[in-house]
Amino acid sequence: MSSDATPDPYADKVAFGQRLQILRTRKGLTREQLGGLMGRSGSWVKGIESGRLKTPKLEIVLRLAEILRVRDLADLTGDQTVHVDLFTGPGHPRLAAVKAAVDAFPLTPTGEAPPAAHLQHRLARAWTARHTAPNHREVIGALLPDLIRDAQRAVRQADTAAQRRAAQAVLSEVYSLSQFFVAYQPDAALLWRVAERGMVAAQDSEDPHTIGVAAWLTAQAHRDSGPGHFDSADAVTAEALRFLEPQLPDATNDVLAITGALTFEAGYTAARRGETGTAWRHWDQARAMAARLPADYYHPVTSFSRAIMGAHAVTIAVELHAGGESVRQAAAADATTIPSRPRRARHRIEEARGYQLDGQPDVALATLAQAHEAAPETIQYNGYAKRIVLEETEAKSPDRRRRASALAVKLGMLAA
């Protein structure tokens, strides 16, 4: 290793403050930026990193882990006796098969590609399964390998330019579905391969809706990589919106919906930055687009619809760390109108974050239990939910500790 290389915080036993400094630097954050995201000062961060201040309490450590998107709580604490995956979920049993299909690029004929209509029908069934099955990762993980191979084959065997563009649109959508499966699993490189290939296929398709979906997912991949990647998320979102804007006057429902979803994404990232006015302005713009959609319309990829805007308002308030506003928005939102089980579970998790911010941990745990009931595989891979559960396992209330521990066992965080 060269003398100027970044040290590996996991190679030797180092102090908490040193680990914090290394992980903060890797994420591209200054002390002032990290302090601001924590509601503290840069000097507070410096005090912890230098050892002048003692290691914070668990709730602060968990919040730092959330901001830095650490793969395992032990990476930050140095305690190798307790491993808790936060923003990296367990490797799904079907991950290897999906990865093999993504990575394979056979160049010799391997059979005739299915007709485009057949692939579209299978894709529609897969999206339906993703929204309706509580074990949605298991279901789509079983469907994806053959879908990926067949969509790749359809692109290679296209006879005309028009057929090739149509096949690329299908392939891009298959990669979009793949990204939902791969997200928050222990293979970040695979996630980026899927996102980038989806964007390349979308661009080759020249289809506005397909390009918008690929941009939406790419922006999410950047944003979920941590604060050091927010600029990249904003750049992708802004470019996609510039591309779609001229088409809005005569847009189809799908193009209008993906434009609305991208507009909300800009607000989501702004909220992560703590930019209150900008976040709510984008939410208002997205709500106006949702109002132009039919009342029963629901975008199959992004969930964008009239029904989702209440859930989006909760997300904005939570990301701005506004506990009271989060609870107010949660009261106004109607989760039962969200037809997608995983999206409904995600909304319950956002509500739980709001209740915890508002000092209502018992309600937060009850809401997380509702999320688990709606879609166990959603909460199992959600770092925010696991942070709340882990924090409440050390609550002063014995009853709350018991309920949090029982939920932690269901999520695979603690042994039964």
- CA dist 13 and 203 (Å) reads 47
Helix (H) or strand (E) holding 295: none
Is pLDDT of 25 > 70? yes
Does some domain include residue 416? no
- In whole angstroms, give the CA distance from residue 310 to residue 305: 10
**Structural domain ending residue among the three candidates 206, 228, 252:** 206
Greatest mean pLDDT among 4-13, 74-83, 255-264 lies in: 255-264
Q: Return d(Cα 17, Cα 37) in angstroms, integer.
A: 17
- Residue 115 shares a structural domain with residue 144: yes
Q: Which residue has the tokens 């999320």?
A: 371
Calpha distance 72→78 (Å, rounded)? 10
Question: Of 413, 324, 398, 325, which Cα lies nearest the Cα of 368?
Answer: 413
CATH code of 47's domain: 1.10.260.40
For the cut 50, the answer to whether the pLDDT of residue 3 exceeds it is no
Identify whether the C-beta of residue 289 lies closer than 8 Å to the C-beta of residue 260: yes
Q: Is residue 139 part of a domain?
A: yes
Cβ neighbourhood burial of 328 (10 Å; 0-12, 13-18, 19+): middle
| Within a domain: 199 | yes
Q: What is the pLDDT of residues 297-331, one digit of tens each?
A: 999 999 999 999 999 999 999 999 999 999 999 99
Do the beta carbons of residue 140 and residue 130 sit within 8 Å?
A: yes
The residue from 77, 112, 147 where one domain ends is 77
User: Of 384, 308, 395, which Cα lies nearest the Cα of 352?
Assistant: 384
On whether both 106 and 182 belong to a single domain, the answer is yes
Phi, psi of 133 (to 5 degrees): -90, 130
pLDDT tens digits, 56-76: 887 788 888 878 877 777 778
Going by C-alpha positions, the residue among 358, 348, 371, 297 that lies closest to residue 327 is 358
> Which of 37-51, 58-72, 106-120, 352-366 is most confident?
352-366
Q: Is residue 5 part of a domain?
A: no
User: Do 38 and 116 fall within a single domain?
Assistant: no
* Ranges 77-86, 229-238, 317-326: which has the least confidence: 77-86
Comparison of pLDDT for 278 and 111, the residue scoring more = 278
pLDDT category at 241 given cuts 50, 70, 90 is: very high
57, 157: one domain: no
* 100 & 165 share domain: yes
Query: Quick check: 347 and 311 in contact, CB under 8 A?
Result: yes
Range of the domain at 40: 16-77
CA–CA distance, 31 with 40 (Å, rounded to integer): 10
- Distance CA(233)–CA(138), nearest Å, equals 29
Specify whether the CB–CB gap between 258 and 237 falls below 8 A: no
Does 187 map to a domain?
yes
Indicate the SS3 state at residue 359. coil
- Mean pLDDT computed over 172-188: 92
Q: How many domains does the chain have?
A: 2
For tokens 């057929």, the residue is 163
Flag whether 126 is in a domain: yes
Contacts for 171 with CB less than 8 Å, ≥ 6 apart: 151, 152, 154, 155, 201
Residue 194 phi/psi, 5-degree rounding, is -65, -45
Residues 168 and 62 both lie in one domain: no
Count CA atoms within 13 Å of residue 222 on its CB side. 21
Q: Are residues 25 and 126 in the same domain?
A: no
**What is the rounded distance in angstroms from the CA atom of residue 180 to the CA atom of residue 140?**
9
Residue 12 confidence (pLDDT): 46
Q: How far apart are alpha carbons 102 and 122 in whole angstroms?
A: 18
- CA–CA separation, 164 and 145 (whole Å): 21
| End position of a domain, from candidates 157, 181, 206 | 206
What average pLDDT does this structure show over 130-147? 93
The reply to whether the predicted model has a pTM over 0.75 is yes
Residue 360 lies in a domain: no
**Burial class for 39, CB neighbours closer than 10 Å (0-12, 13-18, 19+):** exposed
